[in-house]
Amino acid sequence: MNRREFIVSISGFFLSLLSGACEPRKSKRSFEEMAEKINYPANESEPSYIKLHRSGELRKRAEELLKSLKECRLCPRDCGADRVSGEFGVCRAPFDVYISSFHPHFGEEPPLVGSNGSGTIFFTHCSLRCVFCINYEISHLGEGYKVSYEELARAMLILQKQKGCHNINVVTPTHYMPHILMALDIAVSKGLSVPVVYNTCGYEKIEFLKYLDGVVDIYLPDFKYFSSEMAKKYSAGASDYPEITKKAFLEMHRQVGVLKTSQRGIALRGLMVRHLVMPNNVSGSIEFLRWMSKNLPPDTYINIMSQYMPVYKAKDFPEIARRINRKEYSEVVDEAKRLGFTNLEIQGM
């Protein structure tokens, strides 16, 4: 080989190295990377509602629940309204599903919000009918618009695919449970794969919560009152609220356990408790926390909320016609810490 041939040969060798270095590597993304992309760590499986869809169980549950609307007893009011024929019960919800809005929400708990927001869908009407409801236009007055199952499914997919939300957060869902499951079944067939958050006042019947076992990933219930008297006075006679909600909390915990998050701190599965501190101890906060400490693990996520506002009809009740003060809130936080709770969301005042 002469000098010219040697130079051509060695140049070709280096050119081949450079061209190889410039080519994109055709390597498969790791499972860990893909899992984190959809908010699930490598050691977590896909949402269980996907398995229920594949087996046909999700659709079956939805259809069973729809039949129950002929004599609706979805919530503890047990009013038995024939919603199929157009009768209204305590919640005032019709047979068709109505929503007021759907959008990424950045005011929810940090593990739900992440970087892209929680995909909230606000449903109209409510069975609890609190006199101080901050969303009374939706829950009491029913302001919203009718959607089909397909449209509700499309809203879920928009929140996941176009908005990048970390979850689908159904707000005040109890009386529309059948419709939500029907829509979810459709959405899963078109690629829905993020956790479902069941955002409820906590006033739930065990027999219907069992329909959600394996469907809901994250339960987000309120505990509004520890006293039957307070519940009766401020929530349209719901004196059974404390006892029913205690049982509901235990069933929710049985289904999903304590909160689990991804490596980025995004909620994947578990119970996330909300408790709104109210003026003059109307909510029975200390008693509620002591009950929690005896019945649920110390690492249960609890959001102690300070944002009570005397809206809607609250002005008609002098004892709740003001915001809470710093002392009232601090006493509740101090008690939660004293009881040993380790996963507290503490708000400012």
Predicted model pTM: 0.87
Class of residue 37 by CB neighbours under 10 A (exposed 0-12, middle 13-18, buried 19+): exposed
- Find, among 319, 298, 297, the residue nearest to 308 by Cα: 319
User: Is 140 contained in some domain?
Assistant: yes
Question: Looking at residue 305, which CATH number applies to its domain?
Answer: 3.20.20.70
The domain tally of the chain equals 1
Name the residue range of residue 283's domain.
46-88+95-346
Q: What is the pLDDT of residue 89?
A: 96
pLDDT of residue 21: 35
Q: Is residue 73 part of a domain?
A: yes
Residue 56 inside a domain? The answer is yes
- For residues 324, 245, 139 and 123, what is the CA-based torsion angle, rounded to 10 degrees? 120
State pLDDT tens for residues 208-259. Answer: 999 999 999 999 999 999 999 999 999 999 999 999 999 999 999 999 999 9
pLDDT in tens, 173-188: 999 999 999 999 999 9
- State the average pLDDT for the chain: 90
Q: How far apart are the first and last CA of the chain?
A: 84
Kindly state whether residue 25 falls inside one of the protein's structural domains.
no
pLDDT value of position 45: 59
